A and B are shown apart, each in its own frame.
Chain A
């Protein structure tokens, strides 16, 4: 039962990373790619009405973690205290920057908002990578099920590498989205950046294998013990190849799809390698949290299995509806800015 919830949790995180990933990526490249005021409007409008819905997947994912593995939730969030609080502040800043940019009609105000939006999006992409890096590396859990990592221990070398990887991958994801959804010079520039960032994705994907092996060799033994799980890294590599081909061909819908699969594949690989750990401990700490010792009672998990799929099915219906309306090709005479308020 706990295993099922481990899969749901991984699924939620993957959906979040794919969906909010592209609007974070658009944000991280915002002031680099969009040169003029009109282009910045256009870039913001591509994610205008949907970024908020995408972010709900993070909240819902946090809800699943709390529901299914309260012990891991309590340990991770209190131990990575500063990391978490910084994420929260960045989320506030980014949301306000994006939503308020059109509220006051003054070029300086817009530049200020855009800069906040740009930098906090980039910082968020980095921080999510850092968080994942810390989970993969493991944390110094004590026998009471808690740990404390000061800020600069959260930003350790391995986590920072994964953070940079996160920034590169989400930026490339956002660039492909912009190349698909934007027009003119903005789309061209986004396409060029997508092709360039692809090399970063390749180098880091390959280059991170060895560091990951040094911090968590169990990941590799788990693939040896269960060879079928190799399907996830294989899928990831295929998607990376597909992204290369579609980037070259300028087939941006395909490129965006490939990079979505790539992101989901990376996270699935991490999850498959970590299972049964939810929050592993570092080498010298034997108190890791697994699906067995961190889960809620069997009854709670079984009950939730009745309503949770219903809720998610409804969410999928809503999102399909919203995306179909939103992705409908816009006519040129229509105002492009439909951003939130």
Chain B
């Protein structure tokens, strides 16, 4: 029940930071172009006429409104999370607070203050603050949201691959903050996650640009969105696959062989393991069915040697397998499949943009628009892999998930059901309001 509730609240919450972090990057970019650009610049993206700079500033102004709505919903759905650690996961908090208390408190003082204050300044608009401070505010909102992401991933990385702690009296206690922040699991998970958020940001930009172009409204604004969005999408879908996706998968293979084997559907330890493109895992008979594979590729991708041995699920006791192997497997393949498709869409879009045909190519514009929701699915699928593959552990190899929940004496089961229903209803309402507000912004368009 606690798991269901936390899954619901954290997944719903995360829909918003994806865009907050992704959009913050592009907002900062547009503000930077508009603030630093002039006709004499050597760097091409900054070579802008005053009219173009104004257009970029106008575009940033519109996206700031979207960002504001998104951020507000992100905050109201995010606040419960910090407290749910205590309400629903008291034993886990008690066990690991000595370690992850550091990263969560670091996030509070180094990210949230900057983010909230500078967003306030940014949204108050250029009328009230000077152009330079307005630009700095945009940069600080970007820095704040990405620092916030860093400390959250640092927390998650510790749960995935606990380091820098000692067990004292049945509780994990930090023995090196440096070790916690240089967890080998951390950097690639962070870059992979942030580039995933940037992919969503880029596709949201491109999708709205495509929508306005197709409906022949706000043409000038739409072109800026398309240009920034498509180039951004190409950069970040590429980074998403290589190096971040590749490197992160290799860390998973090294530190969580059970998760890696489940995600790849590898039941038998094998030499020269194949990479599965299509296939249905059959947990009972411990094999994949109706498969399409690329021989030796998995070994090569993991260790750069074609005939290396990869540990399969058979090398791991069943009680340490992920709770649901098919869930991990499918979520992982959905993520990878969508990632590849999004890369192709971005690549085609960028090619057309370079040839100057993007703004007239209706099929491409439609593809960009329709691709946008799938970026969310890919991000959520990625987190589904990360979280379900770690099960049955809440802290990998240290604490089982059921042992982390609040003791039944403190939080009886019925209370969990009640608040779960409450959160479901409340978030349904919040989600509807969010969609309504975004649609209104889109209908009104940039001024």
Interface pair B407/A144, CB less than 8 Å apart: yes
Q: Kindly state whether residue B219 has any CB partner on chain A within 8 Å.
A: no
Interface pair B175/A299, CB less than 8 Å apart: yes
Question: What residues of chain B lie closer than 8 Å to A59, measured between beta carbons?
Answer: 79, 82, 108, 112
Interface residues of A, dominant DSSP: helix
Q: Kindly state whether residue A29 has any CB partner on chain B within 8 Å.
A: no
Contact of A63 among B82, B123, B124, B177 (CB under 8 A): B82
What's the minimum C-beta distance from A49 to chain B, rounded to whole angstroms?
4
Known contacts A78-B411, A91-B79; decide if A99 and B72 are in contact (CB<8 Å).
yes
Contact of A60 among B91, B101, B108, B411 (CB under 8 A): B108
Question: What residues of chain A lie closer than 8 Å to B430, measured between beta carbons?
Answer: 92, 96
Known contacts A59-B82, A103-B437, A341-B68; decide if A74 and B97 are in contact (CB<8 Å).
yes
Among residues 68 to 120 in chain B, which have CB atoms less than 8 Å away from a CB atom of chain A? 68-69, 72, 75-77, 79-80, 82-83, 85-88, 90-91, 93-94, 96-99, 101-102, 104-110, 112-114, 116-120
Interface pair A78/B410, CB less than 8 Å apart: yes
Interface pair B112/A56, CB less than 8 Å apart: yes
Known contacts A78-B410, A96-B76, A318-B118; decide if A303 and B113 are in contact (CB<8 Å).
no
Known contacts A73-B93, A299-B175, A319-B113; decide if A62 and B120 are in contact (CB<8 Å).
no
Known contacts A56-B108, A92-B77; decide if A62 and B410 are in contact (CB<8 Å).
no
A side interface size, CB within 8 A: 67
What's the minimum C-beta distance from B217 to chain A, rounded to whole angstroms?
21
Q: Kindly state whether residue A110 has any CB partner on chain B within 8 Å.
A: no
Interface pair B83/A318, CB less than 8 Å apart: no
Known contacts A64-B105, A66-B93; decide if A84 and B437 are in contact (CB<8 Å).
no
Q: Kindly state whether residue B168 has any CB partner on chain A within 8 Å.
A: yes
Contact of A56 among B76, B113, B123 (CB under 8 A): B113
What is the CA–CA distance of A63 and B278 in the complex, to the nearest angstrom? 44
Question: What residues of chain B lie closer than 8 Å to A53, measured between beta carbons?
Answer: 113, 116-117, 120
What is the CA–CA distance of A321 and B128 in the complex, to the nearest angstrom? 13
What's the minimum C-beta distance from B125 to chain A, rounded to whole angstroms?
7
What is the CA–CA distance of A169 and B184 in the complex, to the nearest angstrom? 50
Contact of A146 among B110, B114, B407 (CB under 8 A): B407
Q: Kindly state whether residue A227 has any CB partner on chain B within 8 Å.
A: no
Q: Which segment of A122-130, A178-186, A270-278, A308-316 sits at the interface?
A: A308-316
Interface pair A77/B76, CB less than 8 Å apart: no
Question: What residues of chain A lie closer than 8 Å to B90, measured between beta carbons?
Answer: 74-75, 77-78, 146
Q: Kindly state whether residue B433 has any CB partner on chain A within 8 Å.
A: yes
Q: Which chain B residue shows the least CB distance to A146?
A: B410
Q: Kindly state whether residue B173 has any CB partner on chain A within 8 Å.
A: yes
Residues 305-333 of chain A, each 1 if its beta carbon lies under 8 Å from chain B, else 0: 00110011011001101100110000000
Q: Kindly state whether residue B295 has any CB partner on chain A within 8 Å.
A: no
Q: Kindly state whether residue B356 has any CB partner on chain A within 8 Å.
A: no
Question: What residues of chain A lie closer than 8 Å to B88, measured between beta carbons?
Answer: 78
What is the CA–CA distance of A137 and B97 in the complex, to the nearest angstrom? 25
What is the CA–CA distance of A114 and B370 in the complex, to the nearest angstrom? 37
Which positions in A face B, CB cutoff 8 Å? 49-50, 52-53, 55-56, 58-60, 62-64, 66-68, 70-71, 73-79, 81-82, 84-85, 87-89, 91-92, 95-96, 99-100, 103-104, 142, 144-148, 296-297, 299-300, 303-304, 307-308, 311-312, 314-315, 318-319, 321-322, 325-326, 334, 338, 340-341
